[in-house]
């Protein structure tokens, strides 16, 4: 905990929610708080996409979608912005023309942002960014357990001969030894594949799969139980591609697939992970150009809020109080 109460969001009874700078959940910027326990940062990058572009505009769309978030989370019984100092670091500028340089820059910046024990929640951007974020997490914590919420496996080898794309980050991460291969899970996968070999290769890398159909048949409680058993107390990284949700709940994404999870199911699964050793997380693939009425951005903002709240739980006293308004 910081020496004085954390600075919380802008007071919505003084400044209306539709006014003022659009930081995540209307939180202070990192330059306004000094040390932060949890930092939210954007990565406006979509050079790695294979279908519809536009996720470079995702971070600001999620920030706009977060304006209605409030400071107490009843589902987790935590006031995250009073329990921990949470701040918005703005966007990490990465090269939009050179994927290799973008990955190097993001890895360096993520390592800097997490110095001193700060935890990072990243708003993408496309899923390519998960690789450098996992590298930075592994630098701090060693090989990490991974929960990957996505319609797709993202463990393919190449696209058009390229090894670094939004469909390959977890294969590269497994090859680099930065994942704990005894604790890897995809959640919410569905839809057609290129062939049975995709599943065989994915299994060889160490991944278990909970499909969206499995979540429907088993329910949230059984799904959470299975995931927690696989994770144990290992350092955990959570990566959420918003296309894990059905297009009815998240139309604004680059590669939508029918038959996905509901936003309620996703949020309840995340809340079921309270107490796990979460060390970092991302929410990616929000493409606002395809997002009617901000449905996807709002869903992604709530996912990010739940991730921040899970991280804040490790700082939470019995009664955190309201926190200091900025």
Ligand-binding annotation for 127, yes or no, is yes
Residue 174: other Cβ atoms inside 10 A: 21
Would you call 144 helix, strand, or coil by DSSP?
Answer: strand
Q: Give the phi and the psi of residue 288 in degrees, each rounded to 5.
A: -65, -20
152 is in an annotated binding site: yes
Location of structure tokens 């290992």: 234
Q: Is the dihedral of CA 301, 305, 306, 310 positive or negative?
A: positive
Q: In whole angstroms, what is the distance from residue 196 CA to residue 250 CA?
A: 27
User: DSSP labels for 180-209?
Assistant: EEEEEEEEEE-S--S-HHHHHHHHHTTEEE
Contacts of 51 (CB under 8 A, 6+ apart): 254, 255
User: Up-side HSE of residue 175: CA atoms within 13 Å toward CB?
Assistant: 12
Short-list 118, 261, 251, 257, CA closest to 188 = 261
Residue 157 labelled as part of a binding site: no
Query: Is residue 73 annotated as involved in ligand binding?
Result: no
Q: Give yes or no for a contact between 266 and 188, defined as CB atoms under 8 angstroms apart.
A: yes
Q: What is d(CA 322, CA 116) in angstroms, rounded to the nearest whole number? A: 25
Q: Is 243 annotated as a binding residue?
A: yes
Task: Indicate the annotated binding residues.
Answer: 127, 150, 152, 154, 241, 243
Task: Indicate the annotated binding residues for Mn(2+).
Answer: 127, 150, 152, 154, 241, 243
């Amino acid at each position: 905990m910081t020496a004085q109460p954390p600075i919380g969001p802008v007071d919505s009874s003084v400044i209306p929610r539709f006014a003022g700078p659009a930081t995540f959940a209307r939180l202070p910027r990192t330059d306004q708080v000094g040390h932060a326990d949890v930092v939210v940062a954007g990565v406006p990058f979509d050079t790695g996409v294979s279908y519809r572009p536009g996720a470079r505009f995702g971070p600001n769309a999620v920030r706009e979608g977060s304006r209605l978030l409030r400071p107490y989370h009843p589902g987790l019984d935590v006031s995250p912005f009073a329990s921990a100092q949470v701040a918005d670091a703005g966007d990490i500028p990465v090269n939009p023309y050179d994927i290799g340089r973008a990955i190097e820059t993001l890895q360096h910046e993520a390592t800097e942002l997490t110095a001193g024990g700060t935890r990072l929640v990243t708003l993408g951007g496309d899923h390519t960014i998960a690789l450098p974020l996992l590298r930075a997490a592994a630098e701090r914590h060693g090989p990490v357990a991974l929960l990957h919420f996505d319609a797709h496996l993202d463990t393919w080898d190449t696209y058009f001969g390229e090894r670094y794309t939004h469909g390959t980050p977890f294969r590269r991460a497994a090859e680099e030894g930065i994942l704990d291969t005894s604790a890897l899970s995809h959640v919410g996968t569905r839809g057609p594949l290129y062939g049975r070999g995709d599943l065989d290769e994915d299994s060889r890398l160490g991944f278990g799969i909970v499909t969206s159909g499995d979540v429907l048949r088993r329910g949230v409680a059984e799904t959470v139980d299975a995931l927690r058993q696989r994770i144990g107390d290992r350092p955990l990284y959570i990566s959420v591609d918003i296309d894990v949700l059905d297009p009815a709940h998240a139309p604004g994404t680059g590669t939508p697939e029918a038959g996905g999870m509901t936003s309620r199911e996703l949020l309840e699964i995340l809340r079921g992970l309270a107490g796990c050793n979460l060390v970092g997380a991302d929410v990616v693939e929000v493409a606002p150009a395809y997002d009617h009425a901000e449905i996807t951005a709002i869903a992604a903002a709530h996912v990010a809020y739940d991730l921040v709240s899970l991280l804040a739980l490790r700082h939470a006293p019995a009664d955190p109080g309201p926190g200091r308004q900025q």
